[in-house]
Amino acid sequence: MTTIDPSIQAKADAWLNGNIDEDSKAQIRTLIDQNPSELTDSFYQDLEFGTGGLRGLMGVGTNRMNVYTIGMATQGLANYLLHCFPDETIRVAITHDSRINNTLFATTTANVLTANGIHVLYFREMRPTPMLSFAVRHFDCKSGVMITASHNPKEYNGYKAYWDDGAQVVAPHDKNIIDEVKKITSFDDVNWDKNDALFQYIEEDFDAIYMKLVIGLSMSPDAIASQKDMPIVFSPIHGASGKMVPAALKTFGFANVNIVEEQAEPDGNFPTVIYPNPEEAEALTLSLKLGKEVGAELVLACDPDGDRYAAAVPNASGEFELLNGNQTGSLLTYYLLSKWKEAGRLDGNQFMVNTIVTTELIDRICEGFGVKCFSVLTGFKNIAAIIKDLEGKETFIAGGEESYGYLVGDFVRDKDGVSACAMVAELVAYYKTQSKTVFDVLAEIYNQFGFYKESLISVTKKGKDGAEQIQALMNDFRLTPPSEMNGIAVEKIVDVKESTVKNVKSGKSVKLDMDKSNVMQFYLADGSKISARPSGTEPKIKYYFSVNAPLSNTENYRKVEAELEEKLEGLKRYFS
């Protein structure tokens, strides 16, 4: 029989003796009697805000998403808001995606906030994350909450907390909110006595306000008009973007938008996919099938909360090829800067932002156009922080990250799958008017700035033991860093946690001017880069690989691509 750690038993007993519902108590007793290891995973830690806020498996316990952890987090948020904005009217916008317990968790959040005298603006219908971000700023809210677990499996849910700038909370607010939550020692410290007088719905007419700003991003209306019948396929993958993305495409002027009907209805069980993640080719199976049936020139899909997007286009053989986030980010960056330059709008006062694990090709493109590009830690909240810092001083054009997140313009302060889908469709139409395919354009980009190719390995390590294994891996990298990978010498090591940049040959280190994060990066003699980063929202450690080579002749696209793919596989084997 497995022995339960006394500290775990004490936390479980506190819940059993607390003011919670009988069903939850019965679940705890069952775990104690029949599944001590699951009990440990459920109680060994408290859920904390990571790069995506509060996220975890649904179930009973301090390390699970349930009405009690939601209530405690919301009480902590309420206490912090009341501290930060004394004697002010405090408004918080709330919505959710299609996940299981979506309305339960969203209304629990609303009830606790109103119980604390805070006004709640609650979307009457589910809406994508970017609309929540925009609503925070539009309605002059002090905060916002999005109930979602993004692209995680169906067993997960989450709670993205936003600040008054429309971005997810960053330091010091995230840590301060957690500190407030930790002060709550029993469920009786949560004010559950809701005040319906402080509750107001955000109605459907808000969609038009957001959509007017989305259409304002368009830079090639004439190209769209000439290609308006271009067949496009879209899937919301059972999520919250099923209304807004088709509306954006049609508002832009696209008249032949085909929806994947099997995935059109919101459903938190995500019955047609293994994972509702557009980064996974499997999630686009039905989309690509419909794409072949209608002869689509572009296939698009969003994750359940509509902030991430994916795109696939037919290659020279007529087969659909899934573009990764680095490719679509590079294409959008090149297209936008080309159009800004063509319009005479680049005057040195513009900037773009990406993350440290995103392709450096975007940096090279920005350099080529004379536009500043900031590199920040993973998490779109860090991109939003740069936008906020430079607001009113310089103009943000766009920014993104490799994980299929992109933002054009600054009226939203999070990645926006709705506007990104529309802009990708626009660039495909624009280059089609020039008799160019997406791969023709990529070849031109690679020819000018270098052929960059990236890949990713995600290693899942679940539970308390998994978390300890991930930490041990990172410790090993720091204590005994590799001198070579796949026979290629390591020349530079960046340790973001320790704020150091070390020259391996000389042994000298300089200080890294960036916020601390548990990330290590290895730069190799051939220009390759490998980044190791534990996920902030999932029980995973991620390895990001980037290789590059010149492309002197665009006709050699596939040959050089194959050579880079071989190099990537060699580096990935080092970590397998």
Pick the CATH number of 45-202 from 3.90.79.10, 3.40.120.10, 3.40.640.10, 3.30.43.10: 3.40.120.10
What is the rounded distance in angstroms from the CA atom of residue 395 to the CA atom of residue 345?
11
Q: Which amino acid is at 356?
A: I
Q: How far apart are CA 428 and CA 437, in angstroms?
A: 7
Contacts of 261 (CB under 8 A, 6+ apart): none
For residue 271, give both structure tokens: 């019955």
Residue appearing with tokens 């891996």: 473
Rounded to an integer, what is the distance from CA 149 to the centroid of its chain?
Answer: 10
C-alpha to C-alpha distance for 207 and 131, rounded to whole angstroms: 8
3-class SS at 107?
Answer: helix
Tokens representing 313 are 């286009």
pLDDT per residue of the chain (576 residues) written in tens, 0 to 9: 568 999 999 999 999 998 899 999 999 999 999 999 999 999 998 887 655 578 899 999 999 999 999 999 899 999 999 999 999 999 999 999 999 999 999 999 999 999 999 999 999 999 999 999 999 999 999 999 999 999 999 999 999 999 999 999 988 888 888 788 888 877 889 999 999 999 999 999 999 999 999 999 999 999 999 999 999 999 999 999 999 999 999 999 999 999 999 999 999 999 999 999 999 999 999 999 999 999 999 999 999 999 999 999 999 999 999 999 999 999 999 999 999 999 999 999 999 999 999 999 999 999 999 999 999 999 899 999 999 999 999 999 999 999 999 999 999 999 999 999 999 999 999 999 999 999 999 999 999 999 999 999 999 888 778 888 999 999 999 999 999 999 999 999 999 999 999 999 999 999 999 999 999 999 999 999 999 999 876 788 999 999 999 999 999 999 999 999 999 999 999 887
Domain at 326-440, CATH class: alpha beta
Residues with Cβ within 8 Å of 190's Cβ and at least 6 positions away in sequence, in order, are: 68, 71, 72, 74, 75, 112, 184
Residue 249 to residues 228, 230, 232, 305, Cα–Cα distance (Å) = 10, 11, 9, 18
Q: Give me the helix-helix angle, 206-215 and 244-252, nearest 10°.
A: 50
Alpha helices in 280-437, H assignment, sequence order: 285-294, 325-342, 361-369, 380-389, 417-433
Kindly report, as residue ranges, where domains of CATH 3.30.310 are found in the chain: 451-575
Position 209, amino acid: I
Residue 50's pLDDT is: 58
Asked if 143 and 432 count as a contact pair (C-beta separation under 8 A), the reply is no
CATH class of domain segment(s) 451-575? alpha beta
And the tokens for 311?
A: 């795109």
pLDDT at residue 514, rounded to an integer: 92
Intervals of CATH 3.40.120.10 along the chain: 45-202, 208-323, 326-440
CB 123 within 8 A of CB 280: no
- Give pLDDT, residue 537: 67
Q: Distances from the Cα of 290 to the Cαs of 93, 247, 274, 278, 303, in angstroms? A: 36, 19, 19, 16, 18
How high is the pLDDT of residue 467? 86
**545 vs 87, 359, 365, 527, CA distance in Å?**
50, 9, 19, 11
Third-level CATH fold of 208-323? Alpha-D-Glucose-1,6-Bisphosphate; Chain A, domain 3 (3.40.120)
Which long-range contacts link 370-374 to residues 24+ away (Cβ below 8 Å)? Answer: 370/346, 371/337, 371/346, 371/397
Paired sense of beta strands 488-495 and 484-485, if any: antiparallel
Q: Which amino acid is at 298?
A: L
DSSP state of 50: B
**CA quadruple 29, 32, 37, 42: dihedral, nearest 10:** 40
Sheet harboring 143-147: ordered strands across?
54-57, 156-163, 143-147, 91-96, 119-123, 199-202
- The pLDDT assigned to 407 comes to 98
Query: Which contacts (CB < 8 Å, 24+ apart) does range 109-112 have?
Result: 109/70, 109/74, 109/145, 109/147, 109/159, 110/194, 110/199, 111/192, 111/194, 112/71, 112/74, 112/75, 112/78, 112/190, 112/191, 112/192, 112/194
Rounded Cα distance, 380 and 400, in Å = 8
How far is residue 175's CA from residue 484's CA, in Å, rounded to a whole number? 38
- What's the first-to-final CA gap in the chain, in angstroms? 34
Helix (H, G, I), strand (E, B) or coil at 574: helix
Check if the beta carbon of residue 531 is closer than 8 Å to that of residue 543: yes
Query: How would DSSP label each residue in 158-225?
Result: EEEEEETTSSB--TTHHHHHHHHHHT--SGGGS-----GGGEEEE-TTHHHHHHHHHHTT-S-HHHHH
Nearest to 457 by CA among 542, 361, 564: 542
Catalytic residues: 150
Q: Nearest Cα to 416, choosing from 303, 275, 277?
A: 303
| Token pair listed for 82 | 């009341």
